[in-house]
Every structure is written in structure tokens, then in C-alpha cells.
Amino acid sequence: MTDALNTKRSGEIFGSAKNLMPGGVSSPVRAFKSVEGDPIVFDRVKGPYAWDVDGNRYIDYVGSWGPAICGHAHPEVIAALQETLEKGTSFGAPCVLENHLAEMVIDAVPSVEMVRFVNSGTEACMAVLRLMRAFTGRDKVIKFEGCYHGHADMFLVKAGSGVATLGLPDSPGVPRSTTANTLTAPYNDLEAVKELFAENPDAISGVILEPVVGNAGFITPEPGFLEGLRELTQENGALLVFDEVMTGFRISYGGAQERFGVTPDLTTMGKVIGGGLPVGAYGGRKEIMSMVSPSGPMYQAGTLSGNPLAMTAGIKTLELLKQEGTYEKLEAITKKLLDGIISAAKESNIAIHGQSISAMFGFYLCDGPVRNFEEAKSADTDRFSKLHRLMLQKGVYLAPSAFEAGFTSLAHSEDDINSTIKAFKESFSEIS
């Protein structure tokens, strides 16, 4: 492969990493298994950019997989963190910063009247499932093919990109008995959900979904889908749970539930609310959240949960997002980028289907529509793999999988978007 990119130092570091950590990484999709070449090892990030250890600069559309919506290492976030750092990194006792972030989340997210902080999206989803079961006294749960809710055993069934990319339909080590209560349906298929409720009367605790899917590429809910789920869950005495770990504070300040006007019973969050530090959260109606220990009997705890550093990064990030015009700006640059990508592909006669909402976008190298994971799988992954490498050579960092959403930030300028579109034009013409 002739490769214009000098990645000598990245190669050396990744070479050593492979002997130290499984696959050389701390999370699988980073390993570039489904695109050409070895992973790029980052040295630092700032604004819309990432620099690798060989000194190459990339315009970054991964944004640490979602948190960097204000741009990497925003000066105000860094300054707030430095101030908090002086007071210590973890208390293991109540701190007023938890109140501040909780108030902000409760004000912003329609379904949330009370919230519990945890350390990751996985933890939030794991706990919310326990809560769904505790509150309803029922064991079964419905999830959708291609939706990812973290790596807890019960959710490792048809779980989207990470799992899909590696070609593992399920994971070994997950007992059948653990997933026996996990029912799955195709996304955007209300009839399938209706059937599951009919086949399992009074046994389903609830339905959990990504209200906009970002873990199987980028799939939007068809009109009526979210509303239909709201009705079906209510009719069947089950809970509706939006996993907004990716969409929270990104699809709009109040998440997808605000944007689409459908209020679930419970919501999970992560990524953006931690502003780049490890934070997850779950919340919902007071009546349900009061089940959580120590206010109620459902046990869930965490040594580092609600720690002052993580709370600070979250608070500052939300303050920045709350400013006038933020989401209009994000929407406009993301749409401009997506329009540019689509017309660049078309110029080279490459089949493409793409969509964007707010600061999230995605495209598949196939004809649309793509309404579910099954349809997403018809995308040309070999071509995407080549595209990914070419874009790196031209200084653009895309998620290393055909089945991931892309993220923009407030730091991406018109110039960044224009040079990204130019890079797409050149790359598409090279692979047409």
C-alpha cells in the first residue's frame, strides 16, 4: 500500500501495546480492525483537531466518541477542572457539584425528575435495567437489533457496531440464561414489538432503545415509531427507556426526547454530560427513581460516582451548550458537511445514503433508505475501509468503522468543514 502518511511512531507504540493489552487497546473499535492500516496513536487534542505521535494533524469527527461537543480541551472546561483539582480528585462523600449537575440535567431533560450519577454509559444502562425490573416486578426487556447499550451481559444481543464490526453475533462468556429475558426486534418495526408484547403477557418490564441510533451507523426513527412505542408500553404496563448516552445534549439540549416530543419513563445518559471525564447517569420520574438505594430497595453504588472532577467537566460543558444559538450552529455546520459528503460521492457515482440531525451525522455507502440494522448491512464496507485510510492521509479522522455515527462540535469552523468536503471529493474520486 502506498501511504502518504508517516505513522512510524504510531506503529511502534501500537506494536508494543499489542503485547501489553488485548488487541493493543482499551476498547475494541479503536483497533481499526474493520478499516485499512493500524490505529493512529494520539498525542493531544484541541478544539476540532487531534495530533498524533508523529506530528500529523487531523480534523476530528469522532470527538472521543461523543463527549467533545464543545471542542476538545475547551479552555473554560480546562480552567474549571484546574480549579476543582486543587481541592482534590475524589471525596467519596456528598459534594455540592453533584447538586449543580443534577439540577442542570433535571431542568434540561423532560423525563428526568431525579437522577443518579455513575461512571459510564454501560453502568447507567446496567442499572436502568435493574430498575425497570425492580419497579415492574417483571424480568423481560425488549431491545432493538443494532442498538448498543453498553457491554453488560444482558444487552450483548444484536448489539450494534462494536460487536457487528468484529463479526461476533454474541459474546462468549455470556450465559444463555442471562440473555434469555432479552427480546429483540428490528428498529422502526412497531408490529414486531406488538407481537412480542402479545407473546409475553405481563412479563415485559419495558422497551429500551437509542431514540436515534448511533451504534449501527446512523438511523433515525421513522415518524410515529417513538410515539407508537410510548403507547404500546403504556398499554402493557411496561416502561419506555431512552438510552440517550449518545444523543443526550447532542440531538438537542434536552436530548432526542425534547427534539421528538416523546417523553420516556427513564433515560440513560453519558458521554456529553461528563465533558470528557467518566460520567454516566440514569434518571426519570421520582416515583420510579425512589426505588433506588438508599431511598428504596434497588441496590446500586459507586466509589468514584459523582466525583468533583467529573461533575465539574459536565457542568462547564452544559453551561457552554446552554448559550444562545449553540444548537442552530451545530445543526447548520453538520448539515453543510453531510450535504457536501453526499454530493462528493454522487460526483464520483458512488452510492450513498446519509442523514444528519443536530451535531450527529452518518452515511452508508449504499442506496437508501436504511431503517434498521439489516438494511445497514448492505453498505459497502470494503469501500468504506479504503475511504477511511484516504481521509486519514488527507488529515481527516473519521470513526474507524462503517457502522458508527459521526460527531461535529462547536469548534469545527466553516474552513474545517470546507477542507473536509474537499478531502471527501478527492477520496471518493480515488475509489470510484
Judged by the rule CB under 6 A, the positions of this chain that interact with ligand PLP are: 120-122, 125, 148-150, 210, 214-215, 243, 245-246, 270, 280
CA dihedral 320, 323, 325, 328 (to 10 degrees): 50
Residue 158's nearest CA partner among 409, 372, 432, 428 is 372
**Residue with Cβ nearer ligand PLP (52 or 243):** 243
Cell, residue 215: 451504534
Least Å distance, CB 94 to ligand PLP, is 24
Q: Give the nearest distance from C-beta 64 to ligand PLP in angstroms.
A: 11
Q: What are the helix (H) ranges across 86-138?
A: 96-108, 121-136
Residue nearest to ligand PLP (CB): 121
Amino acid at 22: P
Helix, strand and coil in the chain, % to nearest 5: 40, 15, 40
CB closer to ligand PLP out of 26 and 432? 26
**Which one, of 366, 398, 363, lies nearest residue 379 by Cα?**
366
> Is there a contact between 406 and 361 (Cβ–Cβ < 8 Å)?
yes
The set of cell numbers assigned to 175 is: 450465559
Cell of 413: 469552523
Nearest approach, Cβ of residue 245 and ligand PLP (Å): 4
Using the minimum distance from each CB to ligand PLP, give the nearer residue, 71 or 280.
280
Contacts (Cβ under 8 Å, ≥6 apart) of 313: 77, 80, 81, 274, 275, 276, 277, 279
Measured CA to CA, the distance from residue 216 to residue 428 in angstroms comes to 22
- Please say which residue, 280 or 284, places its beta carbon nearer to ligand PLP: 280
Rounded CA-CA distance 262/191 in Å is 19
Cβ 119 to ligand PLP, closest distance in Å? 8
245 or 390, CB closer to ligand PLP?
Answer: 245
Q: Which is nearer to ligand PLP, 210 or 375 (CB)?
A: 210
Closest contact distance (angstroms) between CB of 147 and ligand PLP is 7
SS3 219: strand
Q: Return the active site residues.
A: 148, 243, 271
